[in-house]
Amino acid sequence: MAKRAPTIITCAITGAIHTPTMSAALPFTPDDIARQAIAAAEAGASILHMHARRPDDGGVSINPDHFAAFLPRIKQATAAVINLSTGGSLTNTIEERIAPALRFSPEMCSLNMGSMNFSFHPLAKRYDTWRFGWEKDYVANSDTYIFRNTFRDIGNVASTLAPHDIRFEHECYDVGHLYNLRFCMDIGLFKAPVFIQFIFGILGGIGPEVDNLVFMKRTADRLFGEDYRWSVLGAGGAQMGLATTAAEMGGNVRVGLEDSLQIARGRLAESNAQQVTKIRRIIEDLGCEVATPDQARDMLGLKGGDRVAF
Interface ranges with Zn ion (CB under 5 A):
85, 87
CB of 282 to ligand KMH, least distance (A): 21
The residue (of 6 and 32) whose beta carbon lies closer to Zn ion is 32
Specify the stretch interacting with ligand KMH by CB under 6 A; choose among 30-38, 79-87, 128-136, 218-226: 79-87
Of 237, 243, 230, 239, the residue nearest 283 (C-alpha): 243
Decide: helix, strand or coil at residue 203.
Answer: strand
| Residue 205 DSSP class | B
> Sign of dihedral through CA atoms 55, 57, 63, 67?
positive
CB of 197 to ligand KMH, least distance (A): 8
The two counts, helices (H) then strands (E), for the chain are: 12, 14
Binding mask 290-309 for ligand KMH (x = CB under 6 A): --------------------
Number of residues that bind ligand KMH (CB under 6 A): 14
112 binds ligand KMH, rule: CB under 6 A: yes
174 binds ligand KMH, rule: CB under 6 A: no
CB of 259 to Zn ion, least distance (A): 8
Specify the stretch interacting with ligand KMH by CB under 6 A; choose among 11-19, 52-60, 150-158, 268-276: 11-19
The residue (of 153 and 258) whose beta carbon lies closer to ligand KMH is 258
- 152 CB burial (10 A radius; 0-12, 13-18, 19+): exposed
246: left (phi over 0), alpha (psi -120 to 50) or beta: alpha
Of 21, 131, 23, 34, the residue nearest 13 (C-alpha): 34
The residue (of 85 and 244) whose beta carbon lies closer to Zn ion is 85
Q: Which of 14, 78, 86, 92 binds ligand KMH (CB under 6 A)?
A: 86
Cis upstream peptide for 193 (omega within 30°): yes
Decide: helix, strand or coil at residue 146.
Answer: strand
Residue of this chain nearest to ligand KMH (CB atom): 87
CB of 285 to ligand KMH, least distance (A): 26
Specify the stretch interacting with ligand KMH by CB under 6 A; choose among 34-42, 82-90, 153-161, 264-272: 82-90
Of 141, 100, 108, the residue nearest 122 (C-alpha): 141
Strand partners, 129: none
The residue (of 101 and 296) whose beta carbon lies closer to ligand KMH is 101
Q: Which of 27, 30, 87, 100 binds ligand KMH (CB under 6 A)?
A: 87
Residues 153-172 touching ligand KMH, rule: CB under 6 A, are: 171
Task: Tell me the angle at which helices 175-186 and 210-224 cross, rounded to the nearest 10 degrees.
Answer: 10
Report the C-alpha gap between 296 and 194 in whole angstroms.
13
Chain centroid to CA 290: how far?
18
The residues that touch ligand KMH, with contacts defined as CB under 6 A, are 12, 15, 17, 85-87, 110, 112, 171, 199, 202, 235, 258-259
